[in-house]
Amino acid sequence: MKLSPKGYGKVLYEITKDEKGKNLEKMTKQFFLLLAHDQMLSKINYIIAEFVEYAKEMSGIVRLEITGARKLDQAEVKKISKHFGDKVEAETVVDKSILGGVKVKTKNKILDASLKKQLEKLKIQLNKSN
Amino acid sequence: MSYTDQVIESLKKNIDSFKKEVSVEEVGAVISVGDGIARMSGLENCKAQEMLEFPGGVYGVALNLEEETVGAVILGDFRHIKEGDLVKRTGRIMSVPVGDQLIGRVVNAVGIAIDGGEEIVTKEFYPVERVAPGVMTREPVNRPVQTGIKAIDAMIPIGRGQRELIIGDRQTGKTAVAIDTIINQKGQDMICIYVAVGQKESKVARIAARLREVGAMEYTIIVSSGASEPAPMSYIAPYSGVAMAEYFADKGKDVLVVYDDLTKQAWAYREMSLLLRRPPGREAYPGDVFYLHSRLLERACNLNKDNGGGSITALPIIETQASDVSAYIPTNVISITDGQIFLETSLFYKGIRPALNVGLSVSRVGGAAQIKPMKKVAGKLKLAMAQFRELEAFAQFASDLDPETKKQIELGQRITELTKQAQYSPLPVEQQVVSIYAITNGFMDDVPVEKIGEAEKKLLDFAVKSKQSLLSKIAAGQWDEKVEEELKMACQEFVKSK
């Protein structure tokens, strides 16, 4: 049965995670034969990207995207990353429109601690009380 | 303190009391979007039929929960949504605002006002999808819904809590029957909800204007999902309508809901299902199109005293193509409802309006939903019409027939003439009783068939002017020998005075 690239990435991780040396080589070769059989070799780039993401997730590495209004220095990034775990890979983005604070995005959740969001909330509250 | 100072003080207080809160929201990213459907990755904890927030404040409903993706229908304009946009979970299952504030307003399928009036703010929200009341919470239908249309109230009576289907080709007067019923609910302690699904906006505007003119908007809500709105809105509109009705029924009130029409809702659902890649079945409808209508109509009920005693009466409308009642959707809905009112084009053009086919129309509740006077007086009407239909073909040979047959044919012709009624002129039930009694007991036998309408009008004018007490007794449901004698004498008086 043909899987999605994500599926093949998972398969590659599962079959190679506990293998080393000669066995690892054997498993990887088998994997490529499988891809050839399923005619999925053309999608190899996607499969490898999904494999890397899945492997990182499985090893407990948290990937973060931190957005700040100005460029954040190493100390600040480290401070934020500490709250999300020991093994954190953080990517930083500069977006002036959030005005201040930070927005932290993990794979499926977003923590919006930006100044823009707080001002929006304040606006709603002031409108309601009137 | 000057006014400006007061305002500044109040603003300062509000800002001080502002609590800084940061929350974590679950998000997904749009993989593909188009035709009102969006597919997202992520949203791992999304629930079925949960509302999702798209950028731009547009909401969507998650309908397809798959292994890696979530498929959602977008309730509104989707042209600004692009691939990669973040979509947030709201945690709320699809629900609409409900409450007294909605009465007299025209709203869209999600409860937003579209009549140009002020914004509707309600305290309560009811879920659009809800399990119908169970067997033990219901009681048999025993109170009438007076439509004001003689043919229906006499021969195909509708009760509170019943589902009666109005079915016919286009332009046969289906909406007219529903609107006349709504107009006749004035003073009947009934709240009406008219759900317009996929109708022309001009038609809905005309209906709203007419209802406002006769004062019917004081107890009516119009829920409209026009022809130019996206299909998901037409899919949800009937469910929103019944959710609003359930609010009132839970408080012990009686509600009448008209769905105009369910054929267009089925089309909208088919459109959505095909775009969501759900497998098509007969006539390309999805496999659960029966469930689409059955769960909607099952929510119409007559609750027993322990559950408030309220009721929801449903009048779904289905449009047939070339009178084909054995097509897929009509047969589905006929098997769900407690009867149907059949409107035919041929009768319409013959001049019989409302174009009811009394032979094929049925009300499975029948006499239990009629007040006593009407039951007694109209009991023989349906049978007389049935006998007339058998003999109708012989009407051309009237001169060659025996007196018995001639009498039956003539009676049938008179009753047919009697059931003709103008649009927007519903008749109160007590006047209907007088009219039917006069015809079936020979008081109009010397009136030529074409003049019956005129004669009836004169009779009713006479009764309204001079027999108010008798009319009130009939309206209250009284019927015994004395009342019948009074009515007989009134008719004799009228005949003499002509």
B478 burial via Cβ count (<10 Å: 0-12, 13-18, 19+): middle
Buried b (16+ CB within 10 A) or exposed e, B110-121: bbebbbeeeeee
Mean pLDDT of chain B: 92
Q: Give the residue from chain A lying closest to B7, CA to CA.
A: A130
Q: Which domain holds residue A45?
A: 5-58
Same-domain pairing of A36 and A73: no
Q: How far apart are CA B238 and CA B94, in angstroms?
A: 13
Q: Decide if A108 and B18 are in contact by the 8 Å CB cutoff.
A: no
Q: What is the structure's pLDDT at B397?
A: 66
Q: Give the pLDDT confidence of B51-60 residue by residue, as tens digits.
A: 999 998 889 9
Looking at the structure, do residues A43 and A89 belong to the same domain, yes or no?
Answer: no
CB B64 within 8 A of CB B276: yes
Write down the pLDDT at residue B237. Answer: 97
Residue A54 sits in the same domain as residue A92: no
Nearest to B60 by CA among B229, B235, B232, B197: B232
User: Does B27 reach chain A within 8 Å, measured CB to CB?
Assistant: yes
What backbone torsions phi and psi does residue B316 show, to the nearest 5 degrees? -75, 150
CA-closest candidate to residue A6, choices A58, A60, A46: A46
pTM for this structure?
A: 0.86
Contacts of A108 in chain B (CB under 8 A): 26-28, 42-44
Please tell me the distance from the alpha carbon of residue B127 to that of residue B130, in angstroms, as a whole number. Answer: 6
The answer to whether the Cβ–Cβ distance between B28 and A108 falls below 8 Å is yes
Boundaries of every domain in chain B = 21-91, 95-369, 371-495
Residue B169 counted as an annotated binding residue: yes
Query: Chain A: residue nearest B13 by CA?
Result: A126
Closest Cα in chain A, distance from residue B122 (Å): 14
> Smallest Cβ distance to B22: which of A4, A112, A125?
A112
Q: What is the DSSP letter of A38?
A: T
Tell me the pLDDT of chain B (498 aa) as tens digits.
688 888 888 888 888 887 777 878 899 999 999 888 999 998 988 999 999 999 988 899 999 998 889 999 999 888 999 999 999 999 889 999 999 999 999 999 999 999 998 889 899 999 999 999 999 999 999 999 999 999 999 999 999 999 999 999 999 999 999 999 999 999 999 999 999 999 999 999 999 999 999 999 999 999 999 999 989 999 999 999 999 999 999 999 999 999 999 999 999 999 999 998 899 999 999 999 999 999 999 999 999 999 999 999 999 999 999 999 999 999 999 999 999 999 999 999 999 999 999 888 999 998 888 999 999 888 888 888 888 888 887 777 666 778 888 888 888 888 999 999 999 999 999 999 999 999 888 888 888 888 999 999 999 999 999 889 999 999 998 899 999 999 999 999 988 887
Residues B140-171: pLDDT tens digits?
999 999 999 999 999 999 999 999 999 999 99
The reply to whether residue A125 touches residue B14, judged by beta carbons under 8 angstroms, is yes
A48 and A94 part of one domain: no
Q: Does B438 touch chain A (CB under 8 A)?
A: no
> For tokens 């005005």, what's the residue?
A99
**Interface check A107 vs B, CB under 8 A:** yes
Q: Are residues A67 and A38 in the same domain?
A: no
Across the interface, whether the CB atoms of B22 and A111 are under 8 A apart is answered yes
**CATH classification number, B95-369, choose in 3.40.50.300, 3.40.1390.10, 1.20.1250.20, 3.40.50.720:** 3.40.50.300
Closest chain A C-alpha to B308 CA, distance in angstroms = 35
- Active-site annotation of B, residues: 364
Helix (H, G, I), strand (E, B) or coil at A30: helix
A46 and A70 housed in the same domain: no
Check CB contact under 8 Å for A108 and B26: yes
- Contact A125/B at CB under 8 A: yes
Do A106 and A66 share a structural domain? yes
A111·B88 Cβ contact <8 A: no
Residue B70 CA to residue A108 CA, distance in Å, equals 13
Q: H helices within B251-354, ranges in order?
A: 262-275, 289-297, 328-336, 345-350
By Cβ distance, the residue of A109, A121, A129 closest to B25 is: A109
In single-letter form, the type of residue at position B368 comes to: A
Residue pLDDT tens, chain A, 130 long: 788 888 888 888 888 888 888 888 888 898 899 889 988 888 889 889 888 888 888 888 888 888 888 888 888 888 888 888 778 888 888 888 888 888 888 888 888 888 888 888 888 777 766 5
Claim to verify: residue A47 and residue A100 sit in the same structural domain: no
B66 interaction partners in chain A (CB closer than 8 Å) = none
Residue from the list A110, A113, A122 with its beta carbon closest to the beta carbon of B15 = A122
Which residue among B20, B68, B86 sits closest to A118, beta carbon to beta carbon? B20
Greatest Cα-to-Cα distance within chain A, rounded to the nearest angstrom: 73
- How many domains are contained in chain A? 2
Output the pLDDT for position B1: 65
Final residue in a domain of this structure, among A58, A76, A99: A58
DSSP code at position A39: T
CATH class of B21-91: mainly beta
> What does the block give as tokens for A70?
């100005």
What kind of architecture, by CATH, is found in domain B371-495?
A: Up-down Bundle (1.20)
Q: Alpha helix (H) ranges present in B367-451?
A: 372-378, 381-391, 403-418, 429-440
> Closest partner residue to A126 among B14, B20, B43, by Cβ?
B14
A74 and A120, same domain (yes or no)? yes
User: In this complex, do A126 and B11 lie within 8 Å of one another by their Cβ atoms?
Assistant: yes
Helix H or strand E encompassing B318: strand B311-319
| Rg of chain B in Å (alpha carbons) | 27
| Residue appearing with tokens 């999605």 | A4
B119 near A CB under 8 A: no
- Mark yes or no for CB contact B68/A118 under 8 Å: no
Residue B321 CA to residue B292 CA, distance in Å, equals 21
A106 touches chain B (CB under 8 A): no
Query: What percentage of chain B reaches a pLDDT higher than 90?
Result: 71
A126 touches chain B (CB under 8 A): yes
Instruction: Chain B: give the shortest CA distance to residue A36, in Å.
Output: 24
**What's the rounded Cα separation, in Å, for the pair A37 and A3?**
12
Model ipTM?
A: 0.71
Q: Do A74 and A43 have their domain in common?
A: no
